[in-house]
Structure 1
Amino acid sequence: MTISYMRVLFVHNYYQDLGGEDVVFHQEMNAMSEIAGYEVFSLTFRNEKGWKGLWQFGWSPWNIFAKKKLRAAIRRYKPDVIHFHNTQYACGPIVIRTAKKAGIPIVMSLHNFRLLCPSATLFYRGKLFTDSVHAEFPWKAIYHRVLDRSFAKTALTAISYWIHRRIGTWNMVDRYLVLAEFSKQLISNSSLNVAPQKFVVKPNFVEIRAAEMLPKRQNHYLYVGRLSDEKGILELLEALKDTSYSLRIVGSGPLENQVQEIIKNKTHLSYIGALPKDAVYEELLQCKALIVPSVCYEGGTPLTIIEGMMMHTPIIASHIGAIADAVIEGETGYCFEPTSPEAIVQAIQRFEMDSTATHFDITTRAAAQAQLVHSKKHIMALLQHEYDRVCTRNT
């Protein structure tokens, strides 16, 4: 049975600074509004800085103000389904209980691993941190202060999510949308204790215009991403600083000053800074290959990998988490073990030893895979299907 007309309420909590989750929220909401038979509404919250942020964070375990706002939105829009994206922290998990009490089917996108660990990234001080995945309560996460290195923030987040685990809030969600098979297996086999059938892989979609599919390759490699520990930028610079391989670095983040210090007087390494999307696309078209050295578990395949694949850009990436689902050695790219500068150089050497014909075969397979899995048409059809399933089951 397919629902011929549907009212969808998207609920999202913005972080203090714009991030990938915010982009996906707008992307999917706008795409859904373009589909005949769907009426789309939104309710948003925003994390504040300073004392307002502290006030919001203190209320996050049971935010009665967010509950009131959602109840008003339900009365106003009368949605058939509610799709939650981020709920941390100005919103809080109470909105899930509010939607369930109203008898409305719930779909929730999981962009990270916060349901398992306060860190959200399963990464802490340069290493993977997976102690919380199978723990009934994340004592070690609190001890190590994995959230912003703050005992108070880590403890409050841990207690909030544990309380909602104990009272069954997470089981009230009818469908969880995860970004990759790796994430699905990790979360469904964790101590969260939610039925595995509630988890469905729904990647993000990417649109690339035809004019952007014509490569104009130059003789340098490219890094695009946040300049932070978990992205492996320091390992990449360690690998290349004493070689002749040229690298352009696009992005910004907390390690910006350290990156610039490392590449000082290294003429083959250049820092470009943050660029708008169209300029990033141009960089992807011009580089010899995109290098993705992440040392953490990404929630899904990074958008830069998907975009690079669609542009027939060769991908050289760390073999970890969801990245390993997409980049397969000799098939759709070149892989190396994370955290190893030596492995990065070896992967580049394998890439350079292969012929142009081999590069063409690999990038052609990668582009076909990316178009199949990450096309807008495919992803939106999948999303419609899941809306229909939860609505049918709840009627």
Structure 2
Amino acid sequence: MRVLVVHNHYSSAQPSGENRVVEEEVGLLRAAGHRVGLFERRSDDIAGRSLLGKVAVPLLVPWNPAVRTELAARLRADRPDVVHVHNVFPLLSPAVLAACADAGVPVVATLHNYTQVCPPGTLHREGRECTACVGRSVPLPAVRHGCYRDSRPATVPLAVGLAVNRRRWWSGVDRFFCISAAQRDVLVRSGMPAGRLVVKHNFVPDPGVRREGDGEHLLFLGRLAEAKGVRLLMAAWDALAADGGLGVPLVVAGAGPLEPEVTAWAAGRDDVRYAGLYGPEECRKAVARSVAVVAPSLARETFGLVVAEAMAAGVPAVAASHGGFAELVEDGVTGLLHRPGEVASLAECLRRIAAGPDANREMGRAARRRYERGFGPAVGLARLEKEYRSVIAGRSGGGGAPPSVGESTGSPRVRPRGRDGGSR
């Protein structure tokens, strides 16, 4: 198949799981013999723009007419069978959908977060879950609270884009890929067209290294932000330390706004090590040396790459029992689930995962088996190819195989649309 992938890469200053997923998916498709082109922008390029160019960026978030023109020319030249849209913020905009509609090319879109119903895409505000904008055609609560970067002016372009392009998204995409059933449930309740929403979990490459023995440390690997449960983890670890500790250290790896706080907290302690930002190889080694990976996110994660990566290395996880984590971790079998936001619950799970080496090893083996069944490259490729073929056949009138209900999907077949569906 000829596939054109559309993606705005997030800033390289912060590690992005979404960037990685896109790059690995492109590599997977190319290795399978598909012809994959890229239509992309990079947020890093904003820094090199003139002052006027930087000022204009927020104006392009809801609609970038130059992108529509450029992509239309690319579609005429490449004639792809399907366009796969990932992130369009801030430099691409939903104008990419108009270009695809003009060309009559079927479109699939992976929803990596909740930006279809929540301007910052997190369903999280001030340390707790927030659904104030879910189901609203105009997300005014997000503007009122300045949900994106704690700034009302920064939130306005996102809110405007969501409001004015709502119908375009919902009519201009043949199939949406949700990366967990939990995410799909939220989006269906918000009013998104259930018949176009299927579940296609992210895949994780085999790391090539697995845990040997019982592990050396507990590991937090991710963005150092309130929503990721960093302060919750610090409070639970302090409670455990006051009660004698666990006998294994905690390694915290990552970067983010709480880095100074984490650095100060870890300084001078024997039971905590702040490792800074790991590279890919360091990440794989650190995961494989873990007693468990800890994912105490306060926000409802749509998937949870770090948990899937732990499973691939035969390592159990301790994770919050909501969002995508609840689908990845089978409590007591492939890891432990704690009550979201509760210090005592997280501390007890950490104690349990570290105190029973025999049970821990069995959880690790079960985690690896679950990875092989549901999250390896072969599974990811098969699901992706199936959905591509279905939307291509549906648009061409070939009928297309209906999405099957189960782990990879969760909706009836999408009806074909006309070539002008969704055009402006």
The TM-score bracket by the shorter chain reads over 0.9
Q: 1:252 aligns with which of 226, 245, 255?
A: 255
Matches within 5 A, 1:62-101: 62-101=63-102
Aligned to 1:329: 331
Measure, in 2, the Cα distance between the counterparts of 1:379 and 1:67: 30
Counterpart AA for 1:376:
P
Inter-partner Cα distance in structure 1 for 2:389 and 2:368 = 30
* Partner amino acid, structure 1, of 2:35: E
- Partner residue in 1 for 2:408: none
Q: Deviations over 1:263-314 (max 9, x none)?
A: 23322111111111221221122222211111101121x2211111121212
Q: CA deviation at 1:216?
A: 4.0
In structure 2, the residue matched to 1:40 is 36
| Distance in 1, Cα, partners of 2:354 & 2:17 | 32
TM-score (norm 2): 0.86
**CA displacement, residues 178-213 of structure 1 (integer Å, 9 cap, x when unaligned):** 1111111111221xx332121111122112244x12
For residues 207-245 of structure 1, give each alpha carbon's deviation from its aligned partner in whole angstroms, at most 9, with x where no partner exists: 2244x1242434431111111111111110111125123
The CA distance in 1 between the partners of 2:383 and 2:343, in whole Å, is: 39
5 Å matches for 1:1-395? Answer: 6-17=1-12, 19-36=16-33, 38-47=34-43, 48-49=46-47, 51=51, 52-165=53-166, 167-190=167-190, 193-210=191-208, 212-242=209-239, 243=241, 244-245=245-246, 246-300=249-303, 302-354=304-356, 356-395=357-396
Deviation of 1:353 after TM superposition, in Å, equals: 4.6
For residue 168 of structure 1, give the secondary structure of its aligned residue in structure 2. Answer: helix
Q: Which moved more, 1:200-209 or 1:171-180?
A: 200-209
Give distance in 1, aligned partners of 2:291 and 2:211: 13
C-alpha distance after superposition, 1:46-80 (max 9, x if no partner): 23147434312212222111111101111111111
State whether residues 213 and 310 of structure 1, in contact with CA within 8 Å, keep that contact through their aligned partners in structure 2. yes
Q: Structure 1-normalised TM-score?
A: 0.92
What is residue 3 of structure 1 aligned with on the other side? none
Taking the aligned partners of 1:209 and 1:116, their CA distance within structure 2 comes to: 34
Structure 1 residues 49-58 or 269-278, which shifts more? 49-58
Which deviates more, 177-186 or 238-247? 238-247
Shift in Å, 1:138: 1.3
d(CA) in 2 for partners of 1:265 and 1:104?
Answer: 58
Q: Distance in 2 between matches of 1:342 and 1:264?
A: 24
On the 8 A contact 2:211/2:290 being kept in 1, the answer is: no
Alpha-carbon distance between aligned partners in 2 of 1:283 and 1:100, rounded to the nearest angstrom: 45
In the alignment, the residues of structure 2 paired with residue 233 and residue 362 of structure 1 have an alpha-carbon distance, to the nearest angstrom, of 24
Label 1:309 to 1:56 Cα distance change in 2 as closer, same or farther (>3 A): same
Separation (CA, whole Å) in 1 of partners of 2:36 and 2:189? 33
Which digits, 9 at most, give the CA deviation of each residue in 1:342-361, with x for residues without a partner? 1111112333454x432233
How many Å apart are 1:176 and its aligned residue?
0.5
Q: Give the Cα–Cα distance (whole angstroms) in 2 for the partners of residues 24 and 236 of structure 1.
A: 26
- SS of aligned partner of 2:168: coil
Native 8 Å contact 1:203 1:379 kept in 2: yes
Q: Which runs of 5+ in 1 are unaligned?
A: 1-5
Aligned CA RMSD, in angstroms, stands at 1.7
Paired with 2:268 and 2:211, the residues of 1 have a C-alpha distance of 33
Please give the alpha-carbon distance, in whole angstroms, between the structure 2 residues aligned to 1:153 and 1:345: 37
SS in 1 for 2:61: helix
When residues 184 and 169 of structure 1 are mapped into structure 2, their CA distance, relative to the original with a 3 A threshold, is: closer
Give the AA of the match of 1:333: G
Q: Aligned partners of 1:345 and 1:374: how far apart in 2? A: 28
Counterpart residue identity of residue 248, structure 1? V
Q: Distance in 2 between matches of 1:147 and 1:185?
A: 23
The answer as to whether partners of 1:142 and 1:158 remain within 8 angstroms in 2 is: yes
Distance 2:170 2:217 in 1: 47
Relative to structure 2, which stretch is displaced further, 22-31 or 229-238?
22-31
- 2:35 is paired with a residue whose SS is strand
CA distance in 2, matches of 1:386, 1:54: 39
Identity %: 26
CA contact (8 A) 1:208 1:310 kept: yes
Q: How many residue pairs get matched?
A: 383
Tell me the secondary structure at the aligned position of residue 137 of structure 1: coil
Partner amino acid, structure 2, of 1:129: C
**Which SS does the other structure have where 2:220 is aligned?**
strand
What CA distance in whole angstroms lies between the structure 1 residues aligned with 2:25 and 2:255? 25
Partner deviation per Cα, 1:149-174 (whole Å, 9 max, x = no partner): 12122122111211111x43422100
Contact 2:217 2:250 in 1 (8 A): yes
Conserved? CA contact 2:311–2:371, under 8 Å: yes
Alignment partners' CA distance in 2, 1:157 and 1:389: 32
User: For 1:265, what is the secondary structure of its paired residue?
Assistant: coil
Judge conservation of contact 1:97–1:169 (CA < 8 Å) in 2.
no
Preserved contact between residue 215 and residue 311 of structure 1 (Cα < 8 Å): no
Gaps of at least 5 residues in structure 2 are: 397-424
CA distance in 2, matches of 1:381, 1:40: 16
SS in 2 for 1:294: coil
